[in-house]
């Protein structure tokens, strides 16, 4: 995160702006390239809106990508308090040499299925731009009831991104816009745990005409999204994700610098009982395909 943005946040002042540490960590773990994503922050609240944050953040990330073009891929952020400016900012982001977008799972209780975000999806699909969705860290779902320094990042962040994927399914975004390239962090929350309940509850509600016809079972729709593993080292969690999403819908992610040792996550993937080609896809091939035709 550019220091000019990080210094205006409550949490990201330390460690998130150390480019030398990032590059050294990549070297130590044998990682060729990194996609730089915005973890969401309160900088826009402290600076009176998104316009200034977008300008400083996107230009700062662009500068680092230009300095290290063989190591870094940049994702731009959007002025989410000004829907009319979001599409114009996507053009600016591409002019700056940034190859994708990074958004949070919700904004002020509006999830990404909200009609105010439809121009983003239309533009991203038109421009073949990957969109990376990070859990909302500012007032995520449940924060109005539970404000706890451990429960918020562990539970509320993950359920916010789970709800985001669910609302996108219910609004038909995931089925009617086949050209979208959307990657949800953290396995899209707890989706792999909910697959059976989604399907059984949907079937029961359809029999009573209490939910609209989605065209297929929820699990069939949701398993076609992309997810990243966000530094997970548990082979049991990785195997659960593989069973649900399959090896062509999972991309490796480090969650750095929150997670300090990306090599441990790589080692966990290496220990999985899957084909070498499938491991290679997770550790780079899938994300390369997402950036196809975008210069990534």
Q: Examine the pLDDT at 270 and tell me if it is beyond 70.
A: yes
Q: How many Cβ atoms are within 10 Å of 202's Cβ, its own excluded?
A: 18
Q: What are phi and psi of 35, to 5 degrees?
A: -95, 125
Task: Tell me the average pLDDT across 58-83.
Answer: 95
Helices (H), 74-209: 83-95, 118-127, 151, 157-170, 173-176, 191-207
Determine, yes or no, domain membership for 227. yes
Determine, yes or no, domain membership for 210. yes
Q: Examine the pLDDT at 295 and tell me if it is beyond 60.
A: no
Q: How many Cβ atoms are within 10 Å of 142's Cβ, its own excluded?
A: 17
- Note the pLDDT of residue 84: 79
Q: What does the angle CA 44 – CA 99 – CA 64 come to, to the nearest 5 degrees? A: 70
Q: Which of 175, 190, 176, 280 is nearest to 241 (CA)?
A: 190
- % the chain with pLDDT above 90: 91
Determine, yes or no, domain membership for 101. yes
Its domain, for residue 156, covers: 3-290
The structural domain count of the chain equals 1
Is 21 within 8 Å of 257 (Cβ atoms)? yes
Determine, yes or no, domain membership for 137. yes
How far apart CA 136 and CA 244 sit, in angstroms, is 24
Which CATH number does the domain housing residue 234 bear? Answer: 3.20.20.140
Determine, yes or no, domain membership for 136. yes
Determine the 3-state secondary structure of 102 from DSSP: strand
pTM recorded for the entire structure: 0.95
Is 134 within 8 Å of 153 (Cβ atoms)? no
Q: Which of 115, 161, 156, 119 is nearest to 139 (CA)?
A: 156
Q: What are phi and psi of 278, to 5 degrees?
A: -65, -40
Task: Tell me the average pLDDT across 48-52.
Answer: 87
Determine the 3-state secondary structure of 237 from DSSP: helix
Determine, yes or no, domain membership for 295. no
Determine, yes or no, domain membership for 296. no
Q: Tell me the pLDDT tens digit for each residue of 123-176.
A: 999 999 999 999 999 999 999 999 999 999 999 999 999 999 999 999 999 998
Q: Examine the pLDDT at 296 and tell me if it is beyond 70.
A: no
Q: Tell me the pLDDT tens digit for each residue of 200-239.
A: 999 999 999 999 999 999 999 999 999 999 999 999 999 9
Determine, yes or no, domain membership for 46. yes
């Amino acid at each position: 995160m550019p220091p000019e943005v990080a210094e205006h946040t409550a949490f990201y002042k330390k460690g998130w702006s150390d480019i030398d540490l990032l590059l050294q960590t990549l070297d130590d773990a044998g990682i060729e390239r990194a996609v730089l994503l915005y973890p969401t922050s309160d900088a826009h609240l402290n600076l009176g809106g998104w316009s200034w944050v977008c300008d400083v953040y996107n230009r700062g990330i662009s500068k680092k990508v230009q300095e290290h073009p063989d190591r870094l891929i940049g994702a731009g952020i959007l002025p989410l308090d000004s829907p009319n400016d979001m599409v114009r900012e996507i053009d600016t982001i591409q002019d700056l040499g940034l190859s994708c977008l990074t958004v949070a799972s919700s904004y002020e209780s509006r999830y990404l299925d909200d009609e105010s975000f439809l121009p983003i999806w239309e533009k991203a699909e038109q421009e073949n731009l990957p969109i990376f969705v990070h859990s909302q860290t500012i007032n995520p779902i449940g924060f109005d009831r539970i404000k706890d320094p451990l429960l918020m990042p562990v539970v509320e962040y993950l359920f916010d991104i789970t709800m985001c994927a669910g609302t996108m399914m219910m609004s038909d975004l995931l089925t009617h816009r086949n050209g979208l390239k959307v990657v949800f962090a953290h396995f899209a929350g707890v989706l792999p745990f909910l697959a059976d309940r989604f399907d059984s509850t949907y079937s029961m509600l359809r029999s009573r005409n209490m939910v609209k016809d989605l065209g297929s079972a929820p699990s069939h729709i949701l398993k076609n999204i992309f997810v990243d593993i966000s530094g997970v080292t548990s082979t049991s969690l990785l195997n659960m994700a593989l069973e649900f999403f399959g090896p062509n819908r999972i991309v490796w992610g480090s969650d750095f610098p929150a997670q300090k040792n990306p090599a441990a996550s790589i080692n966990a993937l290496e220990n999985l009982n899957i084909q070498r080609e499938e491991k290679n896809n997770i550790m780079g091939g899938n994300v390369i395909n997402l950036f196809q035709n975008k210069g990534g």
